[in-house]
Amino acid sequence: MKNNKIIVLRDGINSTFQDLGRNNFYHIGLPFSGAMDKRNYLIANKLVGNKYNEAVIEFAYQGPLIKIEDGNINFAISGDIKFNIKKNGKLINGNCYKNYNLSKNDEVDIISTNNSVYGYFAVSGGFDLKQNFGSFSTHVRSKVGANNGIKIQKDDKFFIKDFRDKHANKSLKYMNSKIEYIRILKGTNFDYFFEQSIKEFTSKEFLVTKLSDRMGMRLQGPKIKNLKETNIRSEGLIKGVIQVPADGNPIIMLSDHGTIGGYPKIGVVISADYDRLVQTPPGKKIKFELIELKEAEKLYKLYQMETENLLSQI
């Protein structure tokens, strides 16, 4: 059944299709991509009864305005988002972590994220899209992924694969954590920096600047001074790596990062804190805490258990 269709009346700031990410292509220059905030991505899919790797619309700061052009949809929004629903001509305030049924001519207006960056719009049955390199995730820079590898545009129309309203009336009580300290492990070039700089790096606050997107997060704070070399031989990167170029301002690699880089790596954000990191908007400050690998592994198990626990409540 392909008679359920939406039309995008406003595209939002950075709206793309994302899923769990793309494996096995780092070596040709395709990053992992995928939903930035994995927990919220999984919750959105579970709320509408989808498989965990179904594509959803990820948006940043402001989301799209969507109209149901034909048929019915059942949707849910996750994150910390302000949105309205226009149903049968009536305007209702939307609640995150809850699903809704909409019919032809109804609208969802995703107005803004509250003090966070990313949100997720999932529809029951999933969008009818094509995978590319084993994933729906859009990587705009290499024009790879669903929707021909580009951002969602005004007037785009998308079909829903298989509408089912049996998932209606599901909800979850969940508050996104707002703690602004981020735990890190030592990077492979930790000893390239002055002791004083390392001390400041792990105790002072850093401002998240406006030059932050799905590729990376640029920080400003005390300058991190290099005592060895400001460049290294180009080598692989992974998400969460904190590079420090010659100007002393750290850059954190995020999901769409270039796969190879030549700046020294002072640290790496632990996997358990990644979702929280990416949700920190420009203008906010973060603090780093240095921990050991064993602890990071334990914290990840805890994060995973918490996620599974939340999903099981839906």
Partner 1 sequence: MIKNISNLGDAALYCDFGNEVNKTTNIKVIKYFKKIKELKIKGINNLTPSYNKLIISFDLNLINFSEVKKKIEDINISENNLKQDQKIIEIPTCCDDEFALDIERLSSKLKLTKKEILEKYLNKEYFCYMTGFIAGMPFLGDIDKHIRLERLETPRIKVPKGAVGITEQFTNIYTFESPGGWNILGKTPIKIFNESNEKQPTLINPGDKVLFYEINKKEFIKLNEK
Tell me which stretch binds partner 1 (CB under 8 A): 79-87, 194-202, 262-270, 279-287: 262-270
The residues in 83-102 that bind partner 1, with binding defined as CB under 8 A, are: none
Q: Residue 245 or residue 281: which is nearer to partner 1 going by CB?
A: 245
Up-side HSE of residue 87: CA atoms within 13 Å toward CB? Answer: 12
Q: Residue 144 or residue 219: which is nearer to partner 1 going by CB?
A: 144
Per-position x/- string for 232-251, each x denoting binding to partner 1 as judged by CB under 8 A, each - no binding: -xxxxxx-xx----------
Place of tokens 């109804």: 106
Tell me which stretch binds partner 1 (CB under 8 A): 19-27, 168-176, 212-220, 282-290: 19-27
For residue 176, give both structure tokens: 């996104």
23 scored as a contact of partner 1 (CB under 8 A): yes
Residue 261 beta carbon to partner 1: minimum distance, rounded to whole angstroms = 8
Residue type, 133: F
Q: Residue 67 or residue 183: which is nearer to partner 1 going by CB?
A: 183
End-to-end distance of the chain based on CA atoms, in angstroms? 27
No. of H helices and E strands in the chain? 4, 20
Spatial separation of the C-alpha atoms in residues 37 and 55, rounded to whole Å? 14
Measure the CA dihedral 37/43/48/51, to 10°: 80
Site size toward partner 1 (CB under 8 A) is 42
Sign of CA dihedral 215, 220, 226, 229: positive
Spatial separation of the C-alpha atoms in residues 146 and 131, rounded to whole Å? 6
Q: Residue 104 or residue 151: which is nearer to partner 1 going by CB?
A: 151
DSSP H or E segment with residue 42: helix 38-47
The residues in 270-289 that bind partner 1, with binding defined as CB under 8 A, are: 270-271
List 104, 141, 151, 285, residue binding partner 1 (CB under 8 A): 141
Binding interface with partner 1 (CB under 8 A): 23-30, 32, 132-134, 141-144, 149, 185, 187-188, 233-238, 240-241, 258-261, 265, 268-271, 293, 296-297, 300, 304
